[in-house]
Each structure stands twice: as structure tokens, then as C-alpha cells.
A and B are shown apart, each in its own frame.
Chain A
Amino acid sequence: MNLEAVLATHRFGLGAGKRDLDAMRGDPRGWLKSQLGSVEPITRPFAGQKSTAQVLRDLPSMREAANKSPDDMVKLAKMGRDMFIAEMRPWMRNAFETPVPFLERYVWFWSNHFTISVLKQRMTFFAGSYEREAIRPAVLGKFEDLLISTVRHPAMLIYLDNAYSIGPDSPAGRYTGKGLNENHAREILELHTVGVNGGYTQADVIELAKILTGWSVDRESGAGTGFKFFQNRHQAGSKALLGKTYGENGEREGQDALRDLARHPSTARHIATKLARHFIADEPPPQAVAKLERVFRDTGGDLRALAAALVDEPSAWQPTLNKMRTPIEYIVAAIRLLGGIQDTLGDQRFQGLAESLRVMGQIPFTAQSPKGWPDVASAWAGPAAIMERVQWAHVLAERIQKKPDPAVLADTTMGPLLSPPTREALKLAADPTQGLALLLASPEFQRR
């Protein structure tokens, strides 16, 4: 096993499981690129789950229910929690078992870029279907199509409130006296496209919010994704966004404006920086950012080409482990290292793993803000967080049913990365349980 093979699993994938190393057949880069062929392996495991449109129709008009008795509120909240848990089981199982860990990481990256969070409570109904419908099918296409698929998704429209934004001068606005909600428009500019220094002003936020009036949710149809454009909420007239005028064109205005934002040079830079930060280093090397930015511009935001460019970027292969694994990455890597969920803990252990994620502060789809999870080591490596990881490693090592030899496991899955102090600690471990706990708590395993 060579250094590149370990880095391919560690840095690009979900940790060094034996299965990944076998699948590589001595060609780490080829293995990574072969994962970029089709979205089928990242969508198929979720076939048969309920669609957003179905959820919307099944719910006895959420708003009405929420306005009735407190009991109804509680019932509704429980329905949402149950639904979220039902979605998270296949999500976690897939993370433990996927044969395309690089592509799965790429999904997580984009899912985090276009964050929704169940901390906004009714999102529990939609978090799973959002990622399945808006993100997964789109991560190997064009950035602009991914962007539009998130903006049109009911989950995002509800999470960032555009579903409730009404043109003040539209028929609906005049009738109800309601007006714009700028939240989604602002986050599209600040977080999703051009970025906070991308050159927009408060006036641009308002103009984009006007452009997107009418983009909302169809609670009745039960078909498609549940998106609907309501002409009677749309603010009529031409709008000026980032120096370009969009004549009155109904739903089409939003499509045009979002495509222009996706193609904006600031967007290329913003996305390139975030990608390099996620896969390479907290302070990404400028030449890596410049290269990704160029690829983004040259290919019109082709996400498959961007992922391939990451694999070809030399700075992504330097051996120093700069990045700290997030709790989700850490737990998934631990289970994959030990041979998958069945081998490691037997069945019926998802509850415990969900609890682990909660303790470490990263249940999927619970980011504190629309900015998503932080992507720098300092956010995950405070004293409290490190102590929790160490304690968790210890608990997991105790619970593992078939305990492998820690030194051999370390050597065969991450050998070239192991530092002398880690080798020494594993060699001197009092017993296999302690050795496994040390391996899981080692700097090499906490980092990537």
C-alpha cells in the first residue's frame, strides 16, 4: 500500500476501509475519477422514499394544524421527527456502505453549501427528500442547474422563506397587505453564488427578492417536486440586478437571473475557494484555488470537471494532514475502518450512532445557520470537542464485537501516514480495546 492510496481514501473519501483499498487495484486516482461517472450509485440507495410532493399532500395543511391547539402542534412535531429519523437511517447506512465515498463526500459538500437545517422545525419533514431530490441527482451536472434545483425546491423555499415572499404591488400583495421576504435572495447572493464580497448591495438583494416573488410551494398537486410559480404574487415590472436589467417575464426572470449569478466571475472564485478549503486545507493554496476557478469558468461550472480537477491538483496529495474531520466524517470513517456497521456493532445500532452524532454536535441537517457547517479545524478541535471524541473512541472500542489487532489494522489501512508516536502508542497498548481506542483517537485518524 502506498501513500497515494491512503490519501485517496483519507482525504477524498470516507476513511481507509479495507474494501476501498481493495477496490482501488493500485490506481488511486483512477479509482477516484471512476466514481464520477454517474449519479446512480448516490441516488439508488434512496429509491422508494417518499417524495416532497407526496409529503406536502399528506400533511393536513401544516399551517392550519400549527394554528390549532397546542396538542396538534406537538403531534405535528412528532410526525416530523419520526419522518426525519426514517430518512436518516438509510442516509447513515449509505455513508457506511457506499462504494463511491468520494462522490458521497461531494454530495455532502454541496448539501452543506446549499444548507437547510431542521433547527427550523418544519424542516424535519423535508430534510431527507431535499437532499435526495435537489442535490444528489445534480452534483455531476452544471452548477447553475444545481443552484436552480435548490432554489425551486420546497424545502429551501420554506427554509429561507421565499415561499412566503409576496410582491407588495402584486394582486396577492395588494389584497393581503403582505410584502417581500428578502431572506432567500440574500443568502443566494451571499452564500450560494457570488459570495459576501461578490460585489452586491442591499438594493441587489431587494431586486432579486422581487425577481423571485411567486416562487413558492404547491401543497396540493402531489406531483413533481411541489414547486409552483404563483403569478398573482409576482412583483411586476423590470428589475435591475448587479447592473443588468431583467424585463418583466414572470417565472422566467428567476431562471435567467440565477443562471447569470451562477456564471458570475465572483461565483467561480467563491466556489473554487470553498472546494479547495474543503478538500485540501483550511487556508487553501492560492494556485489550487486559481486552477479550480479557471476550470469552473472554462467549463461553465461543470461540477464533474471540477471534481476531476481536484483529483489532478498536486497540492491535494501532499502528505501533511491539514484538515480536521468533522464529527460525521469521523464517525463514518471509524465504522468503515472497522468493516461496516454490521461487522462493527451488529444491527439495531443506528440509535446509538445518532446519539453519538448528537453528542459531538453534528446530526446531519442541523447546522446552526444557512451558512452550513464550518469547514476549518478550529471549529471542531476545541477542548470540549476533542474530549468528546476521545471518550467516544473509548466507548466504541469497548463495544466492538470482533476486535481486530489495532497495530495491524492501522498498518494496513493508513500505514504511510502513521507518525512514530502513534506507532509507539499502538505497539505499547495494554490490550486490543485500548489499542483500538488509541487508533481511533490518534491524530492521523482525527485528521484527513
Chain B
Amino acid sequence: MTLDRRTLIHSAVGAAALTAAAPRFSFAATPGDRRFIVIVMRGALDGLAAVPPHGDPDYARARGSLALPKEAILNLDGSYGLNAKLPTFKALYDQKQLAIVHAVASPYRERSHFDGQNVIETGTARVMPTSDGWLNRALGPAGVNDPKLALAVAQSIPVILQGQRPVTSWMPPQLPSVDDDFLMRLKAMYARDPMLRSALDRALEVGAVAGAAGGGDMQANAQQMRGARGYRFEPLAKMAANIIAAQDGPRIAVMEVGGWDTHQGQGTTQGVLAFLLDNLDKGVKAIKDTLGPTWDRTTILFFTEFGRTVAPNGSNGTDHGTASVTFIAGGAVNGGRVLGNWPGLKPSSLYEGRDLAPTTDLRAVFKGVLADHMRLGRNEVEGIFPDSGNIAPIAGLIRA
């Protein structure tokens, strides 16, 4: 089967502009019981390795030594496949709980990690070092007014969740907890330091939820997290999912998975990227299994700052590129589809002659998921993403 450019302009993308433009009511007063998990993949994921367009006749030539062999691709629809290190993603796709948007990029067109991450986290049209995060701006419209309902699973709150509305953060406890008397004295001592005082209050809040939900294996799991390359995602994902699944658990959560900057030794079936994809896949399985019935009300949005070069570089890796891939997974997702207009891999089709050309603006995905999963109105979504009036939300990513 070959890729036909026209058939790949998925109807959902075209129809999106029409349906999303229709006025709708917002149920923003209360947070509801849906869960929205954002997984930021820092370092620039190679979308062509995660979701190989193996039906493209130029694929093998364009990727050269990084082209995946047939047995390392889980075929999706003849045109696209999933890297064989992503079996959970494949199962979700088959259950129509995973949608993929390919050739997607933020409006940022340079190739700096830091600026690229700034743009995807602030949701702005260009680099705004001082802007707050788009997910923080979405908290009000989504009715998430209690700090403990917006969680960063991180030691420091990532930009995407920084902003005017207070949020909380959590990492598995690794030190003995302190007694209540000491905490009471601390609170008094922090009376004139609002930053420390609110940080302490919020840590206690989420700690209470984690304690109730997680039970005794938290410390053991914290030990398991330490792996060869930074941390293993699976134990952390499992503990975080325990908190998210709690009745009064966070409605919005952010997690981070790093290491995607595969300049060297990226490899195909073995190598750095194979390890990272396997790590990610196991984490997603842990989230799904741990969430239990909550999974049905959950959407997980995965994205990265940009893609990587189509051709290998001089060191069995790839350099910073432009378009990559994004995943929308969960029981609430209307999946089993690869969306996006495929730009092709012919030399003349590449962005600046080297990168996968972007055909979908990442903000169209952000806006579509926010609108449909968090039940935001069009005006609210437009307010969250400034200067994006020309970017229509992708409708239909979430089950009604």
C-alpha cells in the first residue's frame, strides 16, 4: 500500500474547523471528574522513529541507516506503523483509545530545545521567556480552582503549569516525614514568606492524598525509580496514577519524560531511542492499569518541542529538526486513527531540505483536547492561546 497525499488529509482535520467554530456551552463552573494528563517529552522526540511512515516509498531511502526493519514496525494502517518498542500504544490504537497526529509542530521554527520547550509550554506564537504556562491559564476556565487539583509530578513545577493560579507538586517521599508539632512551628515561621508558606501547605495537601491512595509501597517504589539513565518512568507513573485516581485527586497532572535528544547512538532496534520508547511504553501501561475505571474518563496528551532531522547525522543519531508526532491516549479518546496531512519525505518536501515538514500546528491539538475533554468554550480556548485565531481546534479527538 502506498501513501496517497490526498487520502491522508484526514477528514477529521478538515471538518475540525467547521464543528469547532460552532458555539457551545461551557460547563466550566465545576471541575468535573475527568482527568487530563500531560506528558512533556523533553529533548525532541524523533517522530519518524516512534511512528514510522513505512508506507511512504521514500521512507527507507530518506532514513538511511535509521530506517526501521520491517519486524521492528507494528503496522497500523499500511501507511504508518508504531515502533515495536511501543506495544501498549499499539494495543490502545487497536482499542480506538489512541489517536496520533503526525507531522505536527509548534509555531516555533528555530531549533533550540529551550526556546522550543518555552513555546510548547507557554502556548504562545513565539518565544516568550516570561509568559505563564497554557495549562495554568486553562485551570480557571476548566473550573480547577483548588490548587491540589492541578499536580506537577516533578520536583520543580514545569513552565506549562506555572502561572497565576496556585498548583501543587509531588515526588515520591524519600526522607522520613516530619512530625505535626514541627510542621505547626514551620507554618508560623513562614508567616511572612508567602512563597515558602504556600509551598508547604500544598505539599501537605497532596501528601495527604498520596498517603491515602498510595499506601505503604511508596518508599519501595521510590527506590526502584533509580535506573541506568536518569529514572525509570514506570514506578513514578504508577505512583502518580495512584494519586490521580483518588476521588479528590488532581484533575490535571503534568509529568515529564526526558532524554529524547538522540544526537548520538540513537539506533534502531537497539540503542538509546529503543530504551527510551520501551521506558515510555511501560509507564503508559502502568498508568492505564493503575487508573482502573478512572481510565475511561482520562485523556493523556504527549508532546515534544520539535522533531529531528530525517537523515542520520555523522554519529548514528539525528540533529534538531522541525515536525514530530503527538499522541492522544486514554479511555476518553476517540482513537484508532492517525491524523494529519502527510508532507512526504522526498528531498523537495522536507522543511529546509532536512526536516519533516510541519502540516499541523500543535496548538490545534491543544485547543481541540482542551475544548472537548475539559469542556471549554471556543472563546475560552482562544483566550488561553493568544494570537492563534487562525489555528482551528481539531475536533473529534475526544468521545462525546
Contact = CB atoms under 8 A, between A and B. Distances in A.
Interface string B148-159: 000010111100
B267 to A, nearest CB: 12
A443 B196 contact: yes
Nearest to B115: A196
A134 to B, nearest CB: 21
B200 to A, nearest CB: 6
A260 interface: no
A419 B192 contact: yes
A430 B181 contact: yes
A387 B183 CA distance: 10
Nearest to B259: A119
Contact of A391 (B42, B155, B177, B228): B177
Interface string B180-214: 01100110111111011001101110110000000
A384 B170 contact: yes
B319 A182 contact: yes
A345 B17 CA distance: 65
B112 A425 contact: no
Given A196-B127, A391-B176, A434-B182, A443 B189 contact: yes
Interface stretch (A37-45, A48-56, A368-376): A368-376
Q: Is the interface of B mostly helix, strand, loop or mixed?
A: loop
Interface string B87-115: 00000000000000000000000111111
A388 interface: yes
A248 interface: no
Contacts of A386: 196, 199-200, 203
Contacts of B177: 391
Contacts of B349: none
Contacts of A205: 111
Contact of B157 (A382, A391, A392, A428): A382
Contacts of B313: 179-181
Given A196-B115, A385-B169, A428 B162 contact: no
Contact of A383 (B42, B111, B193, B206): B206
A186 B175 contact: no
B314 interface: yes
Interface stretch (A3-11, A160-168, A334-342): A160-168
A232 B264 CA distance: 21
Interface string A198-210: 0000100100000
B400 interface: no
B176 A395 contact: yes
Contact of A377 (B195, B207, B228, B319): B195
Contact of B315 (A161, A371, A379, A384): A161
Q: Is the interface of A mostly helix, strand, loop or mixed?
A: helix
A422 interface: yes
Contacts of B337: none
A438 interface: yes
B378 interface: no
A394 interface: yes
Given A186-B111, A374-B156, A384-B203, A390 B186 contact: yes
A356 to B, nearest CB: 9
Interface residues of A, number: 58
Contact of A385 (B155, B182, B207, B229): B155
Contacts of B113: 369, 371
A411 interface: no
B352 interface: yes
Contacts of B22: none
A77 B228 contact: yes
B168 A383 contact: yes
B189 A425 contact: yes
A165 B314 contact: yes
Contact of B185 (A183, A196, A361, A425): A425
Contact of B314 (A119, A180, A379): A180
Contacts of A390: 178, 186, 200
B247 interface: no
Contacts of B315: 161, 164, 178, 181
Query: Which of B110, B185, B319 counts the most A-chain CB atoms under 10 A from its CB?
Result: B185
A310 interface: no
A181 B319 CA distance: 7
Nearest to B195: A381
A161 B314 CA distance: 10
A430 B113 CA distance: 49
B171 interface: yes
B112 A421 contact: no
B156 A359 contact: no
A328 B195 CA distance: 20
A351 interface: no
A438 B186 contact: yes
Nearest to A165: B314
Contacts of A178: 314-315
Given A119-B229, A181-B313, A384-B170, 6 more contacts: A179-B313, A369-B42, A385-B156, A386-B196, A391-B177, A429-B185
Interface of B: 42-43, 110-115, 127, 152, 154-157, 162, 168-171, 173-178, 181-182, 185-186, 188-193, 195-196, 199-200, 202-204, 206-207, 228-230, 258-259, 261, 263-264, 313-315, 317, 319-320, 352
The 10 closest A-B pairs by CB, nearest first: A178-B314, A383-B203, A387-B203, A391-B175, A164-B315, A386-B199, A425-B189, A382-B169, A383-B202, A443-B193
25 contacts: A119-B230, A180-B314, A183-B319, A186-B112, A196-B127, A202-B111, A359-B175, A360-B155, A368-B42, A369-B42, A369-B113, A381-B156, A382-B199, A383-B200, A384-B156, A384-B203, A388-B155, A390-B186, A391-B175, A394-B176, A419-B192, A425-B186, A430-B181, A437-B182, A443-B189
